[in-house]
Amino acid sequence: MEYRQLGASGLFVPVLSFGTATFGGQGDFFKAWGNTQVEEATRLVDLCLDAGVNLFDTADVYSTGASEEILGKAIAGKRDKVLISTKATFTFGEAPNNQGSSRLHLLKQCESSLKRLNTDHIDIYHMHGFDGNTPVEETLRTLDDLVQSGKVRYIACSNFSGWHLMKSLAISEKYGWNRYIAHQVYYSLVNREYEWELMPLGINQNVGAFVWSPLAGGRLGGKYGRNKPKPTEGRVVEGGSPVPQAVVSEETFYNITDALEEIAEETGKSVAQVSLNWLLHRPTVSSIIIGARNEEQLKQNLEAVGWNLTIDQIKKLDAASDVPTIYPYWHQRQNLTLNPLPKFY
């Protein structure tokens, strides 16, 4: 397993990390992801550790806390061997203060996550989304207090826009508070908007990327293709995909799967493994969050590392997945001497 330094920190993380949204299976949305309980979760954790995957990602809202509870039991006796990433911000309960990144909500959710995980600290604490109602200063001061208290080691964000992240970094610098060292983002061959602004920001400010849904909500798992019948079961069909259908152009999607199938045949790897390996070559990517409903899926995903696509294969995938940008990015790309693209090759 390869390990990469995470942003502007001294922490090293594996290039593959394990997402536990499949743990618990509570509610229609997460039930479509999976229904892993403690016994199987423990086996999956052990398989990950054997492969060098020591980072486990969860969130308070995953199955209304059940994912954290199951993960806490699955890592019992192994806490010193693992890194735990969890999140807060999204709605957890009915009262008006049971959402957001206010001091009240974050302190409550952090304490609850620690209890569910059965641990005294969280290694990486993410803001699951940006809270436009709470002053950024309130959020960051609270997070800094959590780090100072020892309950949180590092802070990160997720699903921020460019100005959300840049404003947060500027305020942390202004007051000397702990800053976001990572940004958990959606990024895949199907949707490469992350490259337009968030990737250049990550390069400039040294913010590492955790990639969620690297297989586009299951669409790049190998079941879908131009000449394949559409699946009648699975997470996408059951409404459990976190990536809306509307953001995926059908023709572009099939161009991508055509290229993936060709390269999979060339390399002797699966479509999913090629899709994951492509992400490992992208600037700022520190770790890809893989999920699995069962041991076989996990073993397959773990084989995405230990080998590399060629530059020509990467360029073929880039060409197949290229789409027009929106303003102001198409305007900026008219003069690449002023606005150079990230160095992909």
Name the stretches of the chain with pLDDT < 70.
234-235, 237-240
Instruction: Tell me whether residue 62 is one of the annotated catalytic residues.
Output: yes
Dump the DSSP string for 9-46. Answer: SS-EEESEEEE-TTBS--HHHHHTT--B-HHHHHHHHH
CA dist 329 → 165, 192, 195, 324 (Å): 18, 13, 10, 9
Looking at residue 93, its pLDDT comes to: 86
pLDDT digits (tens, 9 = 90+) for 233-269: 766 766 667 787 777 889 999 999 999 999 999 999 9
250-267 vs 271-280: helix axis angle to the nearest 10? 100
According to the model, what pLDDT value does residue 238 have? 65
The pLDDT value recorded for residue 76 is 97
Q: Is the N-terminal amide bond of 231 cis, ω within 30° of 0?
A: no
**CA proximity to 236, closest of 251, 227, 248, 226:** 248
Strand, helix or coil for residue 208: strand
User: Can you tell me whether residue 174 is helix, strand or coil?
Assistant: helix
- β pairing state of 208-212 and 285-290: parallel
What's residue 27's pLDDT?
84
Give the Cα-Cα-Cα angle 50, 53, 56 (nearest 5 degrees): 125
Question: Which of 62, 125, 186, 194 is an active site residue?
Answer: 62
pLDDT for 151 equals 98
69-112 confidence digits (pLDDT tens): 999 999 999 999 999 999 999 999 888 899 999 999 999 999 99
Entry pTM: 0.94
The reported pLDDT for the residue numbered 206 is: 98
H or E element that contains 143: helix 136-149
pLDDT at position 235: 63
Predicted local confidence at residue 324, as pLDDT: 94
Q: Could you give phi then psi for residue 151, rounded to 5 degrees?
A: -80, -20
Give residue 54's pLDDT.
98
